[in-house]
Structure 1
Amino acid sequence: MATYLRRCIEKKNINTIQIATGYWDVPGMALVVDELAAFLEREGTQLQMLIGQEPYVYAGQVKVPTYRRNFPDDYIKKDLEELELKEEYKGVVDLLLTHCGKTMQVRKYMKTLLHAKCYIFSKTFTENGEKCCHDAMAIMGSSNFTYKGLLGNAELNYLEKNGSIIDSNYKRTGVKGHIPWFNEMWEQAEDWTPVLLEQVIKPTPIGREVNRERKQRQKEAEEALAKPFTPYELYIKLLQTQFATFLDTKLSGQIKDYLPATYSAFDYQIDAVKQCYEYMQRHGGFLLADVVGLGKTVVGALIVRHFLSTPQKDGRGGRVLIITPPAVQQPWRDTLGDICATTPELSKRIDYISLGRLDKFTDGMDDEETLDDGTLDGVLDQSKTYGLILIDESHRFRNSDTEMYRALNSLIGSITPTPYVGLLSATPQNNRPQDLKNQIYLFERTPKNSTLTKG
């Protein structure tokens, strides 16, 4: 069971873990502590743990009244008091002290005896005001989140990979899935996170020892910061500040994971994705001007994939519009289809439109009306919730006096918040520097307050 838990936690596309267990102990969590630590360090992740009450505990309280203690507080505290000060156990306590109350929440269910054991892994996000879930997996069976439950006992568990079953809504299907069941139990439970930290963990020997080590590390860090930097250290800090994105190996690995096995992961393309994404967040857009043959379509598709996979905290919409010449639209569809193959729901949030059809896009059209030449993928999104507009062969917009430029500029200006704008062209300047200015103004909406600086 511990092996399967590790594999599920390590899945790159999940951001939510929900665990319901009759009992919990530190040795059990120690079996997966490294994987949980890596998961919780990723941006936008959350862990919810719901602790119930095993029947044998209740039976013990009835048979021996003097044994009646507060569950689970006293039981788990007693377990902690008897723990050896092993490094793996201290790692669990340190994880709890770091993340509980932030990315990790713990509740206890006391309405009835909660004997269920369920481990749910999913990618959750909000779209059009509704909470959505994709890529869900769930393990249910007899294993508590304890050492014996995960490794010691002869347990029987079942791994469910059908997301429609796991997220099944009772009102729509007549069947309550794992996630709706957990959410219902979670709402009925009481928050136990502060009690777990302050009354259960910290007063125990292992809690005091981990707290002492944490304070010692903090003191050493503060002392290190108080020392004057050497010229070499200042130089290294400057490099880290200016080129942090290029040094982020974790982000590089995440972007490479988007590529299917049939694609080559070229370092210059991964670097281009990271740099364009950083510039896009800093300036509202970017211009990628690689020469023909270096794979701008792959770079652009990876940027789209990363945008759709990353929660937007600034209110930008969760859809992408891709504007291309008619001749290259199908390669764009094919490339994004490959890169989004493991998360097909992302493809539903991408629209395509051909150059020269932008006037049709901005005209008032019925919700069921589509462009007659099929250059838009599906029905027009009249809500205009685009967070990113990507333009291939952007040099076609080098002249701000054309109807096509005005239509695109009007579309971008009509969306709030202003979407990111990505420009791709091997020849962004055809005749004069004004060509570049007009393209850049598509994302630099207030030139007098430009975030760009002279090189």
Structure 2
Amino acid sequence: MPRIFDNIDQPLLQALQQTLEASTHADFCVGYFNLRGWRRLANYIENWHGGDEACCRLLVGMHQNPDEELRHAMHVIKTADKLDNQTALRLKKKLAEEFREQLTLGIPTREDEIGLRQLAHQIRDEKVQVKLFLQHPLHAKLYLLHRQDHISPIVGYLGSSNLTLAGLSKQGELNIDVLDADACQKLQDWFEDRWNEKWCIDISEALVEIIDESWAREKLIPPHHIYIKMAYHLSHEARAGLNEFQIPREFENTLFDFQTAAVKIAAHHLNKRGGVLIGDVVGLGKTLMGTALASIMEDDHDLETLIICPKNLVQMWEYYREEYRLRGKVLSISRVQNELSDLRRYRLVMIDESHNLRNREGKRYRVIQDYIQKNESKVILLSATPYNKTFLDLSNQLRLFVDESEDIGIRPDHYINKIGGELMFLTKHQSGIHTLAAFEHSEEIDDWRELMRRYLVRRTRSFIMQNYAEEDTETKRKYLLFSDGTRSYFPTRAPKTVKFTIDEKNPDDTYAQLYSETVVETINSLNLARYGLANYIDDSPEELPTETEKQQLQDLSRGGKRLMGFCRTNLFKRLESSGKAFLQSVDRHILRNYIFLYAIENNEPFPIGGLDASMLDTRFSDADTDDVNLISAASEDEDDELINTADSDSNLYTTEKYKERAAIIYQFYLTKYHTRFRWIRSDLFLPILREQLAEDAEALIEILQRYGVWDETKDAKLNALEHLLTQTHPDTKILVFTQFADTVHYLNAALEERGLTHLAAATGDVANPTQLATRFSPVSNNKAGLIRKEDTLRILISTDVLSEGQNLQDCAIVVNYDLPWAIIRLVQRAGRVDRIGQTAEDILCYSFLPAEGVERLINLRGRVRARLREGAEVIGTDEAFFEDDGERGDQAIVDLYNEHAGLLDDDMDNDVDLASHAYQIWKNAITENPKLEKVITKLPPVVYSTKPHSPTDTQPEGALVYIRTGDDNDALAWVNKNGESVTESQFTILQTAACKPETEALQPLEKHHELVNEAAKLIVS
């Protein structure tokens, strides 16, 4: 009786193995052959000699899937299945691709690798021969084993099992053994007929080639090939954009190669996702790139463009719109609330300096977002500073064109894994897991890098120098080549120090006295009650608040601690900037406190301005917020003496005088300027508010009574600036930066009084900053010869706010009159003149620092940080929001003092978007070795190599893995020898994979495949 093999009670694999041990050769016929399944039988064939009657002949059928079979069977017109050489060759290639595809599925294992290599060896040694039967679909599963046995020379197994891991050992199969000699001979004859059929084609060599080209190959692959293959896949969207779009003719001789690449990559993102953010650092030509991108969209999709920009850039954008014939309109962002809702439909909206729309609660933001959504407009965002150390800055810009609940195809995996998985996320948050809203819950930087990779194109100056610039063979300087053959060199940024004396022992040195322990302690002890009104709300007032007042009170609770922190740091920043600016700010602060005290004493409401953190953030505002709310109300009546008394007789700094001024200004607010404020009843707040307002005012009045009379002739810092402008560089254009408009106006007036000419002040409220930029830098603004000599400027004193988008590169000297608390601000200031077209060999970057050293400055900043933490004015990551680099910033001050080279070079390459970074790795590699392109693209999808590595605690041995996930996203992982994640930073992993073409390939780690499996599980978990 025949035995039945169902792989449950009777496994076929075990019977085959036992029979093979006693066999000399074998003939197999199967419908499907899994190359990895061969390892279950390989060792039993290894001892055969090879050749005729000493090998395994394997006949593989050309199977069809059920749908194909059904369509063929039901075809109306029946045709004979005739083969020709061309068809046979096509079928052979098709099956070869199927075999290749087999080896791309699943995670490789060491066992599979050994088995595949063994199969290749056995085919070469003629121990295995494989043919493909093409005459017709062949489904038979037959295993004939030949033995030196006169009674049963052939043992057959017939049934349903293919030569696969599942077929030989898994449930769902049914086979029997055939021992009858006559039946076995008939089966042998049947096999011989098909083996010798004309259209039975030998594919043995093809299988060897497939294995030798796969991850199972024995020949080691150069690690450099794997590194470049990673970059090739990570850059697929960048390459798609470069191949998909053409630059309009009018830009072909205008754009540099790096700009052309950015425009094409951005066009891909814009076309695919409806929006893109071009975020190249300052000075790389974002305006021109945005214009070229808009032109592509207009040409390809017949769109018209609405350009929204800061009011100080309207004139510049009008020039670009006319010069490059964009069809559309330029609109100042200050006018969107009045005009945007009435504008006709523009299907492309370009927003310059889009970081100004980082607050989605703002009225301008909502108006613009509503217009974009209503008109289904594509969106181009331009910003050199899209991310200001809070991730919501990024998502809020994306929200302009991405709905918070839209499925964007990716999710914040690092955050999800950190909190315990998808179920925990869904339990904790209401947002969909593949949405922009989901990312807003994450503070994992690699989640945000993955998100922004789909929308952001960003390169740094160093990246452009490294990858696109040519090198002058004589000077070794890097340059870009204009279409007319002229060169635009990259200058060296040279830090310089201007040292001024602070003499604490000199009573006439008011600036030194302001740094005294008394002043510092006074500022650190301020209650700053006006900035934290929510802390003083009376829960049980005599008259309960109305519904409107309840909403007003609720609004007060937002950001109170943050506002207090900003106010305290800004007082110290203004002290660092100039004694005059500090005293002005102290005076205004006192006056504002007395305005509130007046309201309390007279049972009048408080005037609440539209104050938020951005108004106190020197990145976006150069004005004193107390001054904003005062001057706007009183200056039209030319009563400035009521507001600003710094420089006046110290007898004016008394409680009585401030009460007089406060009463007059309050009446201005209450009557003529009532609509400029929101009003809230003062009796809704606790009595302690009055006490702390008075306490702060009195403490600050003491400072003014001691030091409030400012004598600019004794200002050592101002004197040092004058020397720099008149002695060190008497004839050179100089750009002076400070954080505060008050300092700008002070310096401008003082220098004019000292006889300096051809200078101007530029702040955020200047009506036409482009005109000032043109007078200061006519050549770079294409106005050389059009500006009268007497109208040209040699010295421009400016705040950081003004400098957005202006061409200032006729100048090569930058002066930091005060030092921002984040080094990036100094880098960006240098970038304002280090732009394409700069002709100077060096950019001199002067910074003002005390002559006796920087310890005082560092200690002062350290005390401020400590006070912010003590008062809970810094919460979580908010310290970064105060734009303070902490110890890194302290070290930067020391480096500035010592004029440390390289300090002001721009951001590292990890500030470049991943697609651009990966594309450049790929492009550089194939430019250096053009043959490499074919080599890399022919590598199989699953492939590996091992390179030398010197392990450290933070960079251990292990495995770096790239995977394209099921939803078509790229992912990188790095695990150590224990299979634990080392880092999830895609940039770090790609950089760790970096190696040179000559890097030697090593034998893999013993647990290589197991580590790859662990890395893959980390990615897909």
Which structure has the larger Rg over C-alpha atoms? Answer: 2
TM-score by length of 2: 0.19
TM-score by length of 1: 0.39
